[in-house]
Amino acid sequence: MTRLSVNINKIATIRNARGGNNPDVVKVALDCERFGADGITVHPRPDERHIRRQDVYDLKKVLTTEFNIEGYPAPAFMELVCKIKPAQVTLVPDSPDQITSNHGWDTLNNQDFLTDVVSEFRNNGIRTSIFVDANPMMVELAAKAGADRVELYTEPYATNYEALDPETAVKPFVEAARKARECGLGLNAGHDLSLKNLKFLKEQIPWLDEVSIGHALVCDALYMGLEKTISEYKNCII
């Protein structure tokens, strides 16, 4: 079964735009669970422009599905994750001022660093996923660093799905996914996945463990409502 983890960063962005607590990030996360989400993803950036550190503590107290915290493994981030002990941490190579993730790790040139980071999280009983491009070598080296899973950066797939054709778009992702399976890694995917392109990705890579979706899902919820939207996304991955 492929699990749907709802990234609620955009909910926090709306809240922060006006101050106060509307929308309530914790309530939305609980609603996502109630409507069928299999997990909740957050990315607490250093500037707290969406998810705040306090949100992470508040969510940990009440979530009953898998909690996934993603971010760059700077000391403050690692300290937070090791205190919270979520089900999963997803390591992304983002600089502090990036608007959003736009590439995966170079697992060759960062091999020693990632090995040390993964070891720290493993010692704390936290499953670790490394965010990578659809490159079999990067996947293989993520396994060498000790990761439990990789998350494929799917923005190129989403772009080429419309600009070229679905078969061309998905080909490198199938190859990377096969390498992950060969290496004994779990497989996640995320970034720019939507109701347009998610079903085809799942059909081509049926062993996907998890998709993490935020921006498109929140945009769709503005029109369809959160409950209907989550149901539609779940239907794409059954």
Which residues are marked as active site?
43, 70, 191
Residue 207's CB is within 10 A of a number of other CB atoms, namely: 12
Alpha helices, H only, 124-182 = 136-144, 155-163, 166-182
Helical packing angle, 226-236 and 215-224, nearest 10°: 130
Residue 194's CB is within 10 A of a number of other CB atoms, namely: 16
Whether cis (ω within 30° of 0) applies to the bond prior to 166 is no
Q: Are 98 and 153 in contact (CB under 8 A)?
A: no
Residue 135's CB is within 10 A of a number of other CB atoms, namely: 19
d(CA 170, CA 204): 8
d(CA 118, CA 98): 23
